[in-house]
Amino acid sequence: MKILILCTGNSCRSQMAHGFLQSFDDMLEVFSAGTRPAEKVNSMAVQVMSEIGINITNHIPRSIEKYKDQEWDYVITVCDSAKESCPVFSGKVKHRLHIGFDDPSEVTGTPEFIKNEFLRVRDEIKMRFQELYMNQIKPELSRG
């Protein structure tokens, strides 16, 4: 099963979601991309994921252009639609979903406050993607 997770910069939320989904089931082919990919994955995203045993240090922000001509079982946008425009993906897709999250990389304040926001968003991503995996993706894999 092929899953593409989309965001604007592909440096934080989409990378964390990518890491979680891949950790739930190594039979999934998980990719992530952005409309305006950043130069590198956000270091705080890498840190908070490593704290729970998920390594995304080798992840690289990629452009949505790389994936637009492929077929996908799921394309999932993770932008907070109130503040950003999520990418529109017009390729061949079985399931299109939007699961929005705040962008912790936009948070300002003390280092402790910023880290707590990354932890909060990381935990939200884990909860929502685990729910998606258990309720939709895993049953679909079992049928297929």
Which pLDDT tens digit goes with each residue over 40-88?
999 999 999 999 999 999 999 999 999 988 999 999 999 875 445 566 6
Residue 88 pLDDT: 66
Across the chain, mean pLDDT equals 92
> What is the phi/psi pair of residue 70, to 5°?
-95, 165
Cα angle for residues 35, 136, 59 (degrees, 5° grid): 35
Q: Where are the beta strands (DSSP E) in the chain?
A: 2-7, 29-34, 72-77, 93-98
Whether residue 124 is predicted with pLDDT greater than 60 in this model: the reply is yes
Model confidence at 144: pLDDT above 80: no
Which of the residues are catalytic?
A: 7, 79, 86
Pairwise CA distance, residues 79 & 99, whole Å: 8
> CA torsion sign, 130 to 38 to 6 to 8?
positive
| Class level of CATH domain 2-143 | alpha beta
Within a 10 A sphere around the Cβ of 37, how many other Cβ atoms?
21
What are the residue ranges spanned by the domains of the chain? 2-143
Q: What does the pLDDT read at residue 82? A: 45
Distance between CA atoms of residues 59 and 87, nearest Å: 20
Q: How confident is the model at residue 68, as a pLDDT?
A: 85
